[in-house]
Structure 1
Amino acid sequence: MKFDIVGKFKVFTAFQITGRGLFLVGELKSGTVKVGDYINLTMIDSTLVPNISAVELVLRYEENEAVEDLAIGVKELDDIVLSKVQDSISLLQTISILSND
């Protein structure tokens, strides 16, 4: 499958929601992201390009001011890969959003 880079996403944190999968929370630095796109996690595992199953806004407060971050949800990761992603969050920093449209 051939992919085109359609966006860049800076990862701040990652967490798992039971029944919904892994969520990467951060900021879209450029381009676009939508359900059905893919995220490039090949720096963790050479074959890891999971499908995006959810795109949601997350509110956090910084110095009494609301800030919106973006959460990208991925369902198709097993427990071992989930652990690798969560352990490697500092390596992720900015990841590519991919599309095969």
Structure 2
Amino acid sequence: MSSWSEQETICNASNKRKKAFGQAYSNHKKVAADGESREESLIQESASKEAYYEQKVLELQTELKQMRNVLANAQSENDRLASLAQEIREKIAVLEEMSSAKDDLGKAALG
């Protein structure tokens, strides 16, 4: 038969184990809750970043379209000016020929 002291020791040890188990269980629940909270926070942060970058991509696509339009307009203007420059060169050549012919006629008339 066990003595009162042994029973008390066993009871105290059992109570300590129960208390330790309770604390461990409580800590486990807290860690799990913290993990879930952190995961939720990361998911929200990720969703926020994704939305930001999607918006940034849309803005850059719009800017790219605008720049392509600017480039197309600049190329058209360049083509127009090149054509105009060619016309002017041709007119200058004609005027130079006319001036040369006029000079030749003047010299022939005097000569």
TM-score range, shorter chain: under 0.3
Q: TM-score, normalised by structure 1?
A: 0.13
More strand by share: 1
The structure whose Rg is larger is 2
More helix by share: 2
